[in-house]
Chain A
Amino acid sequence: MPVEGAPKDSTMAEISEAPISSSDPPNTMSEEASDFDPKTMRKTKPGLKRLFLTLTVFFSFLIALPFLLKSIEIYRAPLPFEDIDLLSSAMEKNPLRYPCQFRAVFINFDDITDKNELGLLINSNMQKLTSKVTPACGTCGNNYTVAVTVDSSSNCIHSESENVGKWQCGALNGFDKLNNDEDFDEYLESVLDSKNRKLYTVVVVKRNAEVRVVVGKYRHAWIVGEDSVEKAVENMAEIFVKVFVNGGKEEGSIRGEFMPVGADGKVVLSFSLLNSDPHDWVYDWDFQELDETLLAPVVDALRPVADISVESQVLYHTPKASFSYWDDKQGSYIFSTKDLPFFVNSNEWHLDTSTAAGGRSKVLHFVLYVPSAKECPLKLQFPNGEISMTNGFISPMWGGIIVWNPPVCSENLQVQHLPKHKISSEDLKKISEVFMGQLRQLFGLKSENHYVGAFATSVLLTSAKGFAEWELDVLSRHHTCFNLLQCGTTLGSLSRLVQSLPRMIIMDEIGKQVKYSLEAAKLSLSNVSLGYSDASAVSSRKARALAEDAFYHPSMMSVSYYSFEHCFAVYSPFFLPVSLHVLLAVIREWKRYKVENRKYLAWKAKLE
């Protein structure tokens, strides 16, 4: 069609010979003036009909275009990208800091009179310690208050602390069993009653004895002995900062941000007893007993941090994957620390993930490995040549392994005809203690019962529950921090993913989940700054769970990507030719109208 119309093209008419313009109307006057040139003039006004028509079509197309785009638009729930970026950058830049309350009690220090000076001294010591370390997530930073009490026979001075429960002066006067740690711990607890208040106390008792630093099972520690005030203050600051706040961890151990807790707040402790070769001997354990007497209190104690369930299995024919060699000096087979990455034999050890655990629970494997006769006794050797006491090791975020050498293997290696044994309950108790230490390490705590500080070595009392109150506080803080970090990174990657795929469908539900997750995270952050640690733990857990729900939403996983190419392929067969027509028609009509109008104007000018 355009080719056919080429000769009457108005562009040509304009430039070249202009053959057409002997004007439109049929009733041209025959008696026109001699100076009327039909090529450059016309007498009638050019018609607007066709121009108007083409323009109408053109503009109606333009107006319909947004509607079309709207109709083929894929649904994307609006996501608060800025808020997500704010949250993740906030989590990265300034780690969470809890407000902490400390209390220092000096007993029998008759020479102290100025409590404020003492408070300042403690403060400056703590400043020194905190400034050395970059404030880790979930610690106090510089956001703490210290209350000082001096309790001596002559006077009883309290520093002006507001809501902190006051130390009753003279409470220790009648108590003389200072050497028995357990009793003193209980007695202090009855005096301090720190159960409900997260208030950490260090009691310094001046006495004629060697200096002894003990950290109790609750939220207090004590320093007993003949010590100067300055020394006591240094020790005290260290206990506050390094033990109560940091959990007694050394730097460089497992990073505190990683908590082996699933997104749904659940942890499954999966205990497996591996008999590497049942032909030699088969060991069974009374797991029921282990579960009820040894694990139940721990599970109970950790309930504020994680919901723990326990399961067990016994597997057979599970050789280890690494090599061991006979060492005459030790009289045993040796595997060294550099073999540890290859110890777990993932081909043969089918430590199945638990069906009972939901999709996002964390499974921690605890493996008790019973070596076969040809590698028994099997011992772990450190690089310095020492033999490991526990004969076990952990793998962070995976679990722990203990090699347990059965008593028969140190005897003569004779094949017994009744190879079924049971692990004795004393052995089981020892094993469970090692497992407990491994669990503590997996949670980022120390497995030893003393803390070596810069100024003194403190004794950490162990609780029957496996975790002391102050350790649970540390865990809870770290868990909150870890949850919020995870939430931030998950939402951040979600927003990056969504932004990188502009034609991905996003369900309303995801939008809602992201919104609620952000709200929960904000609530948690504000609770942290107010010092409500329990509430912040709850909402941080919720924030992380919602964030992961959104990220792993089934509609996101499926291929719901409707590409632009697809859309183009569907609509171009109609819109490409039609738009060409419309555009060309508009351009031609407009040019023609301009030309004709000029002719008309020229004629008019001539007339006048």
Chain B
Amino acid sequence: MVRLRSILLFILLFKSFGSIIIAEQSEEFSEALLLRPLPDRKVLAHFHFESKIPPTRTHGPHHSLFPKSIYQLVHKFRVREMELSFTQGRWNYGRWGGYDPISSRNAKPPGVELWASFDVPQHQVDASWRNLTHALSGLFCASINFLESSTAYSAPQWSFKSFTTNVRYGTLPREAVCTENLTPWLKLLPCRDKAGLSALMDRPSIYRGFYHSQRLHLVSNEFDLAEASSGMVLEQTLTVVLQPVTLGSGMTFGSIRQPSWSLSSLFGRKVSGRCVLSNTSNVYVQLEPNLVSELKSTSAMQQESDVKNLVSQAWSDMSFEMSDSPVRVIKEVYGFHKESSLLYEYSLANSSDSRPFDLEFRWKRPVTWSSQLAPLQASRFLMGSGNERGAIAISLKSVGRSEYTDSSDDEDGRCSLRVDVFQVVPWYVKVYYHTLKVYLDERLHSLADVIERTNVSPSEDKVSPGLMELALRLPCDVNSVILTLEFDKGFLHIDEYPPDANQGFDIPSALIRFPEIKTKLHLFEDKSSCKSPLLSKLQEESPILWYTEVLLVPLTTPDFSMPYNVITITCTVFALYFGSLLNALRRRVEEEERLLKNKATKDSSPIGVLLSKLSAKLRGKPLEPPKSSASSSKVSYKLILRVILVAGIAVAWQYFG
């Protein structure tokens, strides 16, 4: 009996093991949507799709969910990691937050940003990059192929991404993002926008938003020789910030009042069921820590109810209510701080065509709060005027909170903050890196005190852009930091100007990175929360990033018809000179004088008189009475004949030439 039991147990164990192994081996796809009310009456919607495949070594090259084109791309160019983002609008760090995992991962510079690291020998990286840009350009209907030229991309060493080599980074700030980029991106999803959460992506609604960032992040360690490779992970996210259309429910006193919203009012569509191919498909509503504490304090003021209300969905007591009750509520556990965010989870499993999922979020009382901000607020601007030289300034302003920097103490106990600055400048903006100046609290500071590490590769004309990587070590109590760099504006060859040269030239966003301050969502490490890839992604630590504004530098633009004008005027001058020289050489002075004398003795017709008068006037000589008459009438006759002849030739040329 005991033996039988043990055998049974063994079989059970074996089975469970087997199932675990099988589960690890199979492809996975999941979808999730995270919604978050923003302090400035907008709503953040973050779509997250993730496809995973086990390594080719064990699973083979055929897949049923993973997009074929991406798999082939990875294998052809041996991509180890790649991120491509198409963004429209600028993430408002001040209002929408700069400290949470979503903003540090999904706030991207406007236009196209692409970076990739390759698993190829050093000398082949550039070739791989060039091929990859072309392939992606075809895949996403975008002009990513402009990143092919060596003036458009750079190779950051450490400030952009730690611990990766063979990285190439390029941006196209002026790339317009539209549906033609979204459609191929959707094609990579197994359900496209036919079913599941992606069905919400109504083009007019999502492009009407204030911020739109469509991102594709790919990690593969297919080419690692180590056995423990985890295959490929393709993460596709779409982050939009939308202004909800205010639902008319008597909520219009006071402009501070947050607008209520629902999925159908935000997107104009409802979700009619999940994508059947996805393992999980959840919708989350996230309340920011500051909002939660605000709600707590207001509810504490009004009634005796406390945090439990928030967790136990007793909507009636709350400042807001939601139309559906969540499957569960996930509370962030954050040891030292009172503030922690709340996540309400909804599952799409039960919704269908007849019962579409339409979450509604209604505010009942006015609430104001602010998002968590990054330790330093960065902005970048141009200084100087004229078309000759100028300066770039990057300013970092403290938000006046020190708790972020708690963990980053120096050896000698002084609190310090490390900031990495990554800046790529096109070659026609010739930056003088020796002119780098650092002002701490508006006082000039020596570079050696502040800068921990630098890597500068100056631009080479028409070959490579300038790259500057700086690691600053700042004291925690600093209020403002300003970095300035002077530059000369270069001249471009006439062929190198873009079609609308008078618009100016873009300097791509600089990246400010706080490598020591990591952000993540602190959730319980229980099994169920790990199942959702969105949550597990948000629980990964990531450094805080801040992309600055794109700068627009006006360069001297020539008049593009200038070369032809120069040709014409030079040729005319030469022709004049040559003609008069030739005439001077064959001139017979005495003969002409004799002729004039002869002429003077003859009469002339009225026309002749007039002509000679005119010529005399022009020459400034007194008029000699003409005498000859017969000649000039004949002359004029011949002249007319000749003019007619020339005109005839011209007409013939016009018609038959």
Contacts and interface: CB of A to CB of B under 8 A. Distances in A.
Interface in B599-649: 599, 602, 628, 630-631, 634-635, 638-639
A25 to B, nearest CB: 9
B73 interface: yes
B121 interface: no
Nearest to A4: B615
B276 A16 contact: no
B259 to A, nearest CB: 34
B65 interface: yes
Given A288-B60, A419-B276, A585-B582, A573 B575 contact: yes
A316 B582 contact: no
A314 B64 contact: yes
Interface in B525-568: 564, 567-568
Given A17-B631, A20-B591, A312-B62, A279 B75 contact: no
A68 interface: no
Interface size class on chain A is: 35 or more
A317 B574 contact: no
B62 A352 contact: no
Contact of A1 (B76, B579, B631): B579
A354 B72 contact: yes
Interface in B572-599: 572, 574-576, 578-580, 582-583, 585-586, 588, 590-592, 594-595, 598-599
Contacts of B67: 313
Contacts of A284: 64
A581 B582 contact: yes
A578 B575 contact: yes
B190 interface: yes
A54 interface: yes
B571 interface: yes
B63 interface: yes
Contacts of A12: 631, 634-635, 638
B63 to A, nearest CB: 7
Given A12-B635, A355-B76, A574-B575, A311 B68 contact: yes
A19 interface: yes
B276 A278 contact: yes
A571 B568 CA distance: 9
Contacts of A8: 591-592, 595
Nearest to B64: A314
Nearest to A589: B586
Interface size class on chain B is: 35 or more
A570 interface: yes
A8 B631 CA distance: 12
B240 to A, nearest CB: 23
B95 interface: no
B585 A355 contact: no
Contacts of B591: 8, 20, 24
B578 A279 contact: no
B564 A577 contact: no
Interface in A289-314: 291, 311-314
B580 A6 contact: no
A278 B273 CA distance: 12
A113 interface: no
A135 B464 CA distance: 61
A288 B62 contact: yes
Given A19-B598, A354-B72, A419-B276, A317 B192 contact: yes
Interface in A325-340: none
A132 interface: no
A398 B62 CA distance: 22
Interface string B443-471: 00000000000000000000000000000
A356 interface: yes
Nearest to A50: B586
Interface in B66-85: 67-69, 72-73, 75-76
A578 B578 contact: yes
A93 interface: no
Contacts of A532: none
A53 B68 contact: no
Given A20-B595, A278-B277, A577-B575, A585 B590 contact: no
Contacts of B60: 288
A54 B582 contact: yes
B135 A355 contact: yes
B292 to A, nearest CB: 38
A19 B277 CA distance: 108
A316 B277 contact: yes
B195 interface: yes
B582 A22 contact: no
Given A317-B191, A569-B564, A53 B72 contact: no
B595 A350 contact: no
B574 A574 contact: yes
B187 interface: yes
Contacts of A571: 571
Contact of A578 (B567, B579, B631): B579
Contacts of B65: 314
Nearest to B186: A350
B194 interface: yes
B277 A356 contact: no
B69 A54 contact: no
Residue of B139, B564, B582, B585 with most partner-chain A CB within 10 A: B582
B580 A279 contact: no
A355 B73 contact: yes
Interface of B: 60-65, 67-69, 72-73, 75-76, 135, 139, 187, 190-192, 194-195, 273, 276-277, 564, 567-568, 570-572, 574-576, 578-580, 582-583, 585-586, 588, 590-592, 594-595, 598-599, 602, 628, 630-631, 634-635, 638-639
- Interface pairs A-B: 5 shortest CB-CB: A573-B571, A574-B571, A317-B194, A577-B575, A314-B64
27 contacts: A8-B595, A12-B635, A16-B630, A16-B631, A17-B628, A22-B598, A24-B588, A24-B590, A278-B277, A282-B277, A284-B64, A288-B60, A312-B63, A314-B63, A315-B190, A316-B194, A316-B277, A354-B68, A354-B69, A355-B69, A356-B75, A573-B568, A573-B571, A574-B571, A577-B576, A578-B579, A585-B583
